Chains A and B, each alone.
Chain A
């Protein structure tokens, strides 16, 4: 019984390795990972005020009409912008046209109880959007100052902290993506392996070996999950080598394994019901999407669990992984009951 099982596992893994399709899968993951972090890097350098200030704050010269100790001017200086003050708008303008300053802020005027500030930006999309990014924070602070003058206190304004985008990206997008994409592939692969046997009419031949239907499907799932888990282990090592600190590695790997098991099992159930690739893959993708949304809605998402395990959250432990393992065993039991359909 165990020998044919191992034979099927070996055959499936062998075929994936021989056909080099696994290379494509790894390439996809590498691509998504580098693409998304490339995108993040690009977005940060263009659309994140802190990053812009760090790299080109000194170069952003803004002309302010009014006195240097005006609240608005001092807030702009505090932001790290290079401020020059001018007594009149006309002088400020000539500084703009001679290229001394890149943008102008006209002195605040009182108009019907509202304070009006005029901002003059160059007609170049790149520079003007850059200036609008960095000037946003001082303008908001100035707004709070005006509110305070009217007796309105805005709370929690002294919060600061460090820009968290990269940290949030790595732990809530990159790590879950690298750990669960192989699971998604494992599900698709299970459908391919099963429907291929049905459509090529090789299922009966395979079953003439001393192997039951559920044994055969189990072997196929095992091979898909094995490939997934090897990829996850490699990604974890690579992330570690890149200096990303990951806690609870063993639990993370176990969770990745359980999730790969869940996707392959539900994919196999779909394949057992529909028996052709086209429909099975379609329904499987929809099921997966629905599963992820329902999981998130019930506050029981493997994505959140893996992020928390990776940052070393004090309230997340192996027990959370066990919940998914229990769900996996229920699904597997369901598969055992439905696998027989393939015989018809």
Chain B
């Protein structure tokens, strides 16, 4: 334990030296100041569609200060001809608005409608008594359809509402959409990502100037090195979580509970970057890829809070619920948190195996490097144990990759979404089940057909057990999400999926190891067969 603190302290001194002295702190503070000031000025002006529409105005027209509109003063006749030749999209003469039939002018009209509605409310609110300006009150009540009304004291049927009545003024209360809360929740993620980039940089820097090699020859274990280097950054990241929760009036212990697994997950991903990188450019690109992927994974589901139970795969959904003071249970908490923590555990394990000079300094194609990494993780135990465990442990990663694929696929034409997701998920599954065996075979650990068949069976078994465990957690939460069932092949008879998994795994590995097919080709063939199997199952064939 002591060793970990020594390394952590060393990390803090390194960071202080790096950013201390010289002009850089001044520059950073100056830049942050500029950012703050400009964000303050920009808070109202930046919106979707900035600068897209041109509007001609004439006569008494309210001021239009919305970044979507560029306003131009014209006289009515000139305005009509400008509108006709497409130079402007709308013409406002007093209270009359003229538009063209084409799309752009119609879009501009809708945008203007939204703007004017708000402006008129302000005007009406300022110039008349409140009761006249906002004469309508709507009391929103919720009824449970399964709980019929009871007779009250007066002998009349009274509806059983399940929540206290919420009274709203329609023009002032927008319908509930979780945008703001998702944005607030995203506030937590940004500093964590930023801090973990520094963690990555530090690792890389020490790798480049070979200090890591010296550290490795000292009497400390790789595990202690990783944990020690990670500790200051992790503490810092969690402090920002506390700070943000405090500033936004969130519940601090709950925010910590929600974001601790997310912090571990982000650190886990960023730990992999310096282990695999070969050049600075690599790192820049990989770090960008990782940032976009994790942001997408976190934000995308949370936007659908209360609309779909699938939203619970992101911890941000829990944060949105926290801000709305809505309760959630243990299952809802574990669904996003468990896979993230599992991935952290897996990354720590991989990190301790890979933190050796030979692996760090070798310059090889990235695919080769990944192969070596998998071999290093497996080589310390018996193949049968390593292969089973591997298939079991990578399940959370597979699950996350499939969710990201789903987000990707929603971009395709509706008819193709399911097909593309099924193909992608079949490919991911085939890769994780076969790659361990293929790597072991390439290092000469596995040779005979009998061994390959045996390991394929174990790999299929490990995968199936992991899949069902995950399903157990998720199925009760994600009750309406049929897609998840389709992705994870929720077959009733476990023997059939097991046989199918075994067959695909054995098929791909034998093609690669015994028939010397290129791995991508073997995978491609396996994926296609797996895809047709999935389609058959989905159509109710089994």
Residues in A lying within 8 Å of B, measured CB to CB: 15-16, 19-22, 24-25, 27-28, 31-35, 37-39, 41-43, 46-47, 90, 93, 96-97, 99, 104, 111, 113-123, 125-126, 128-129, 132-133, 136, 139-140, 142-143, 146-147, 149-150, 152, 154-157, 159-165, 167-169, 171-173, 185, 188-189, 192-193, 195-196, 199-200, 274, 277-279, 281-283, 286-287, 289-290, 293-294, 296-297, 301, 303-304, 307-308, 311, 313-315
Contacts and interface: CB of A to CB of B under 8 A. Distances in A.
Contact of B142 (A123, A304, A307, A314): A123
B279 A199 contact: no
A189 B46 CA distance: 29
A162 B101 CA distance: 10
Given A143-B134, A164-B107, A128 B142 contact: yes
B50 A307 contact: yes
Contacts of A42: 300, 303-304, 410
B171 A140 contact: yes
Contacts of A311: 52, 104
25 contacts: A19-B366, A21-B282, A35-B407, A38-B300, A38-B409, A42-B300, A46-B304, A119-B141, A121-B143, A122-B145, A123-B145, A129-B176, A133-B175, A139-B170, A155-B95, A159-B112, A161-B110, A165-B48, A167-B103, A171-B49, A195-B280, A196-B280, A279-B18, A294-B38, A296-B46
B471 interface: no
Contact of A120 (B41, B134, B143, B306): B143
Contact of A19 (B35, B88, B113, B282): B282
A171 B52 contact: yes
A293 B24 CA distance: 21
Interface in B97-115: 97, 99, 103-104, 106-113
Contacts of A122: 142-145
A308 B49 CA distance: 10
Q: Closest 8 interchain pairs by CB?
A: A161-B109, A168-B49, A293-B38, A161-B110, A34-B411, A164-B107, A304-B51, A38-B410
A143 B407 CA distance: 39
B327 interface: no
A123 B34 contact: no
A315 B112 CA distance: 20
A159 B161 CA distance: 38
Interface string B181-215: 00000000000000000100110010011000000
Say what secondary structure dominates the interface of chain A.
helix
Interface residues of B, number: 108
Given A139-B138, A146-B136, A293 B35 contact: yes
B86 interface: yes
Interface in B288-306: 288-289, 292-293, 296, 299-300, 303-304, 306
Nearest to B414: A41
A159 B97 contact: yes
Nearest to B163: A123
B68 interface: yes
Nearest to B165: A118
Interface stretch (B124-132, B343-351, B511-519): B124-132
A39 B109 CA distance: 25
B175 A314 contact: no
A125 B307 contact: yes
A277 B209 CA distance: 13
Contacts of B175: 47, 129, 132-133, 136
Contacts of A35: 292, 296, 300, 407-408, 411
Nearest to A137: B170
B156 interface: yes
Given A19-B282, A296-B42, A140 B170 contact: yes
A181 to B, nearest CB: 9
A146 B18 CA distance: 66
A230 B108 CA distance: 33
Contacts of A304: 50-51
A156 B289 contact: no
Contacts of A136: 170, 174-175
Nearest to A89: B159
B54 interface: yes
B281 A169 contact: no
A47 B208 CA distance: 50
Given A34-B411, A37-B411, A143-B135, A290 B31 contact: yes
Given A120-B143, A193-B281, 12 more contacts: A96-B143, A115-B136, A142-B170, A159-B109, A161-B110, A162-B109, A171-B49, A196-B280, A290-B34, A290-B38, A311-B52, A314-B54
B157 interface: yes
B293 A31 contact: yes
Contacts of B52: 167-168, 171-172, 307-308, 311
B35 A290 contact: yes
A28 B148 contact: no
Contact of B18 (A155, A156, A278): A278
A143 B121 CA distance: 11
Given A172-B50, A314-B54, A19 B281 contact: yes
Contact of B307 (A126, A168, A297): A126
B296 A31 contact: yes
Contact of B35 (A28, A140, A289, A301): A289
A313 B82 CA distance: 12
Contacts of B285: 21-22, 24-25, 28, 185
A125 B311 CA distance: 13
B138 to A, nearest CB: 5
Contact of B54 (A99, A146, A274, A313): A313
Contacts of B116: 155-156, 159
